[in-house]
Amino acid sequence: TPGIRPLVAGNWKMNGTSASLNELRAITHGFMHGLDADTEALVCVPATLVFRAAEIAASTPVRIGGEDCHAKESGAHTGDVSAEMLKDAGASHVIVGHSERRTDHGEDDAAVRAKAEAAWRAGLVAVICIGETRAERESGATLDILSRQIEGSVPASATPANAVIAYEPVWAIGTGLTPTVADVAEAHAHIRARLLERLGADAGKMRILYGGSVKPSNAVELLAIDNVDGALVGGASLKAADFLGIAEAYQ
């Protein structure tokens, strides 16, 4: 989208130990040497790695994010991590509402909205995920589902500076399947229109990422689609060569 700086974001999910930080080092190296300086890079890592990842990425163009946060700042929530803790560990972003959180932990739109607000309270950018299931796609409900998720998950105070939207068809995540170019274009145009309606003209500058089986071989095609302002990359973000190969789509 004209006037929008693209964002290539990785999501390591529940993968990665100390040894994986070498991949992160290679990713920072790639973004410092040779990749288009206009492309922003983000790697969202498990909470256990945020602190060390942020040290590695400090003074490189790569930003570090968490993969989820609790809505509260602190308290009796054993095992949970707050947005403030992620910020303190060096994160600048946090993913909220990933379909795996919605499925594994029963997070609904209201919970996701509360997490986005928690991210802002802590000074993090929220990467808010939405997307239809296979059954919803097959029944023709995709655009309605996206409207409902935007209404429910995206707080009215979202701005291009504090929020990124990620469109991730659930059936395309980790499956190797991707929607057609026409289907991605339709979904992203719909999301843009709903955001403009909900948030006003500023939403014309909000980044809408595509996520779901993005890899180097399909990145050029997917990232060239209207209203696709970057990618959220799961599996292919674990290997520096693949993640950098996707970012090269912007060269």
- Smallest separation (angstroms) from ligand PEP to the CB of 78: 26
- Smallest separation (angstroms) from ligand PEP to the CB of 219: 11
Beta bridge partners of 63: 42
Closest-CA residue to 41 (of 239, 235, 233): 233
DSSP structural state of residue 70 = B
- Among positions 84, 136, 168, 242, the unique one binding ligand PEP when judged by CB under 6 A: 168
| Site size with ligand PEP, rule: CB under 6 A | 14
Q: Which amino acid is at 81?
A: V
Token pair in block for residue 242:
């693949």
- The residue range among 35-43, 57-65, 76-84, 226-234 that interacts with ligand PEP, by the rule CB under 6 A, is 226-234
87 φ, ψ (degrees, to nearest 5): -60, -45
Active-site hit among 67, 70, 93, 98: 98
- Among positions 57, 214, 228, 244, the unique one binding ligand PEP when judged by CB under 6 A: 214
The C-alpha atoms of residue 66 and residue 94 are separated, in whole angstroms, by: 4
Of 104 and 197, nearer to ligand PEP (C-beta) is 104
Active-site hit among 84, 168, 188, 190: 168
DSSP 220-231: HHHHTSTT--EE
107 counts as catalytic: no
93 counts as catalytic: no
- The residue range among 59-67, 151-159, 216-224, 234-242 that interacts with ligand PEP, by the rule CB under 6 A, is 234-242
Per DSSP, helices labelled H in 21-91 are: 21-32, 47-57, 83-89
Strands (E), the chain: 7-11, 40-44, 62-66, 93-96, 125-130, 163-167, 207-211, 230-233
Closest-CA residue to 174 (of 130, 230, 236): 236
- Among positions 6, 7, 8, 11, the unique one binding ligand PEP when judged by CB under 6 A: 11
Of 11 and 142, nearer to ligand PEP (C-beta) is 11
- Among positions 66, 160, 230, 234, the unique one binding ligand PEP when judged by CB under 6 A: 234
- Smallest separation (angstroms) from ligand PEP to the CB of 17: 19
Residue nearest to ligand PEP (CB): 234
The total of other beta-carbon atoms located within 10 Å of residue 56's CB is 18
174 near ligand PEP (CB under 6 A): yes
97 near ligand PEP (CB under 6 A): no
Beta bridge partners of 64: 43
Using CB under 6 A, list all residues that contact ligand PEP.
11, 13, 168, 173-174, 211-214, 232-236
